[in-house]
Amino acid sequence: MSENRLLLSPGHVLGSGIAGAIIWVVALFVLRDLTQENLVLVGASGVIGAIAAAIGALYQNYTARHTQEYLELAEHQAHHDALTGLLNRNALFSELESSLKRSKEDDTVLGVLFLDLDRFKVINDSMGHEAGDELLRIVAERLLGTVRGSDVVARFGGDEFVVVCRDLINEKSVLAVAKQILKAFEKPVSLYGGAMVVSTSIGVAIARPDDPRRSENLVRDADAAMYKAKRSRSGFAVFDEVQRLQVIDRLDIERDLVKALDEEQLIVYYQPLIDVRSKRLYGFEALVRWNHPTRGLIGPGQFLSVAEETGMMARIGEIVLREACAQAAVWNHLTTDARGVRMSVNIAEQQLLDGNFPYLVADILDWSGLPPEQLTLEITEDVIVEHLAGLSSLRQIRDLGVSLAIDDFGTGQSSLSYVKQFDMVSTIKIDKIFVDDMGGVNAAIIEAVVAMAKALDLKVVAEGVENDSQVRELLDFGVHIMQGYLFNKPVSADMIDPSSWFSPRDSSSDAPGLSSQEINRAFARTMEHARPARRG
């Protein structure tokens, strides 16, 4: 807190007294009444004036001090974290920016350490938020006690802290600080009577004087390195060249994706879903691809997470939905056999969160002329569970006549009993990880899913079927709708010839135990004969 300036000085008091007396003398002179008693009054008024001035000045001093205290408190709060008293995120960035400037001027090295406590969520959930808060305060103290006075310690948010080490001679000094912090965390923390060791993962980004990165880039890079440390359980990791290239690559993808949307570089591939029991094509899943001008055809794994982070997912989702519905409607037009075939489209979290999404679906169905019964929207189980509030949109979509499928079932958080609550879901897609290994616990899970699906009248689809023995095992479990490379990889629409793909296959043998080789051969034949078919 800065010094309090005293506004009451002797000159002040004397001046006010004299001013009071002069006013009286002038008043009496004007009234021509300069008697002795009145002159006594003049003296008294001088004294009263001085006292009034003193009181006024004291009051002024008091209010000024309090205003100043208030301003200083507000200033402190704006830059500090209320819980730990450390600098907050905003203050960190401005400190870091000026430190970077100084390190360039002084030709010194600067280190940014991004810390994230391990298992903090578990502690918070099991011991309560007060214990969590207390732990964060202890960690803050420990950090302050470990680093040098000239280093900056900030709480970045939640259980994340950032330490900025300034004026270092070389990179080794930064690593020494990281090791020192890890050592400080080895000492058990006493929390509500119990002692526990709380570990942390540290990501390090080092800026040499010629480093072009700004403060946000450095923190972002230290954060990325922290994830590397967490994954490898190595305590700390330094942001390196490989990661730098990954970040640049991501930024390139982000920049190119904006263009891709405008220039219609995104295309839709279709992978068939086969009903092995009836030997019929059950449907298609629409899967987005990017026809990148320099990278060639790239899969969703390389760009959908960037699209999600940058808010482009809703636009991409709409493009795919529109294209898939239009394509299915064209096939309907070309052959009546296509009318019993479904089109499944993946729906991302961002699309579902938009309250207008059901209207968009209705609009696209209307525009394309695709009957709603032919459309299935695939939503991963975590998205459904996390956004129960969005369920009203799911109901609205179901009421349009569109089906809903839980995608990648078994990889998320939901339990089987949970599914019963989603009365609007009509299909469960068992994830590839179960198909890859159908023994042990997985066998029990598949059995339970099939039993529940039967009871709730749900369809079960197995994803990622790659070989004959999987087909046999799945049929034994009672799963007969399958999707996987065994039948077909996803292909572009012009590879799908409606005259051969949609026509019913030879159903002379409709036994459930149909040989998968037979199915395989049938579809391989289909592929051999697949010739580019024009969309109508």
Binding mask 17-36 for ligand C2E (x = CB under 6 A): --------------------
Q: Cα separations (Å) of 170 from 208, 400, 470?
A: 8, 65, 57
Rounded to a whole number of angstroms, the minimum distance from the CB of residue 383 to ligand C2E is: 9
Interaction residues for ligand C2E, span 479-518 (CB under 6 A): 483-485, 490
Rounded to a whole number of angstroms, the minimum distance from the CB of residue 364 to Mg ion is: 18
CB 344 within 8 A of CB 273: yes
Residue 410 found at the interface with ligand C2E (CB under 6 A):
no
Tell me which stretch binds ligand C2E (CB under 6 A): 146-154, 244-252, 345-353, 518-526.
345-353
CB 460 within 8 A of CB 479: yes
Phi, psi for 77 (deg, rounded to 5): -65, -35
Structure tokens at 38: 């009145």
Residue 320 found at the interface with ligand C2E (CB under 6 A):
yes
Give dist(CA 249, CA 254) in Å, integer.
9
Of the candidates 304, 381, 371, the residue with the CA atom closest to the CA atom of residue 341 = 371
Q: Figure out which of the listed residues 116, 151, 221, 378 binds Mg ion, where binding follows CB under 5 A.
A: 378
Rounded to a whole number of angstroms, the minimum distance from the CB of residue 434 to ligand C2E is: 12
Of the candidates 438, 534, 487, the residue with the CA atom closest to the CA atom of residue 282 = 487
Rounded to a whole number of angstroms, the minimum distance from the CB of residue 401 to ligand C2E is: 21
Tell me which stretch binds Mg ion (CB under 5 A): 49-57, 81-89, 373-381, 519-527.
373-381
Residue 349 found at the interface with Mg ion (CB under 5 A):
no
Tell me which stretch binds ligand C2E (CB under 6 A): 50-58, 143-151, 458-466, 500-508.
458-466
Helix (H) or strand (E) holding 261, with range, is helix 241-262
Q: How many CA atoms lie within 13 A of 362 on its CB side?
A: 13
Cβ distance to Mg ion smaller for residue 383 or 496: 383
Residue 403 found at the interface with Mg ion (CB under 5 A):
no
Q: Figure out which of the listed residues 81, 381, 407, 473 binds Mg ion, where binding follows CB under 5 A.
A: 407
E strand residue ranges, 121-193? 152-157, 160-168, 189-191
From the list ligand C2E, Mg ion, none, partner contacted by residue 287 (C-beta under 5 to 8 A by kind): ligand C2E
Q: How far is CA 422 from the centre of its chain?
A: 25
Cβ distance to ligand C2E smaller for residue 103 or 488: 488
* Residue-level length of the chain: 536
Binding footprint of ligand C2E, residue count (CB under 6 A): 23
From the list ligand C2E, Mg ion, none, partner contacted by residue 485 (C-beta under 5 to 8 A by kind): ligand C2E
Q: Figure out which of the listed residues 116, 118, 159, 407 binds ligand C2E, where binding follows CB under 6 A.
A: 407
Give dist(CA 487, CA 484) in Å, integer.
6
Cβ distance to ligand C2E smaller for residue 379 or 458: 379
Query: Which residues, other chains included, contact 29 with Cβ-Cβ below 8 Å and sequence gap of 6+?
Result: none
Phi, psi for 357 (deg, rounded to 5): -55, -45
Tell me which stretch binds Mg ion (CB under 5 A): 38-46, 362-370, 389-397, 457-465.
457-465
E strand residue ranges, 160-235? 160-168, 189-191, 194-196, 200-207
Crossing angle (nearest 10°) for helices 215-232 and 89-106: 110
From the list ligand C2E, Mg ion, none, partner contacted by residue 320 (C-beta under 5 to 8 A by kind): ligand C2E
Q: Figure out which of the listed residues 288, 325, 384, 405 binds ligand C2E, where binding follows CB under 6 A.
A: 288
Cβ distance to ligand C2E smaller for residue 88 or 483: 483
E strand residue ranges, 39-127? 109-117
CB 116 within 8 A of CB 160: yes
* CB contact burial 294-307 (16+ within 10 A = b; e otherwise): eeeeeebeebbebb
Structure tokens at 304: 């959908």
Q: Figure out which of the listed residues 346, 374, 403, 488 binds Mg ion, where binding follows CB under 5 A.
A: 346
From the list ligand C2E, Mg ion, none, partner contacted by residue 212 (C-beta under 5 to 8 A by kind): none
Residue 348 found at the interface with ligand C2E (CB under 6 A):
yes
Where along the sequence are the contacts to Mg ion (CB under 5 A)? 346, 378, 407-408, 463
Where along the sequence are the contacts to ligand C2E (CB under 6 A)? 271, 287-288, 299-301, 304, 317, 320, 346-348, 378, 407-408, 463-466, 483-485, 490
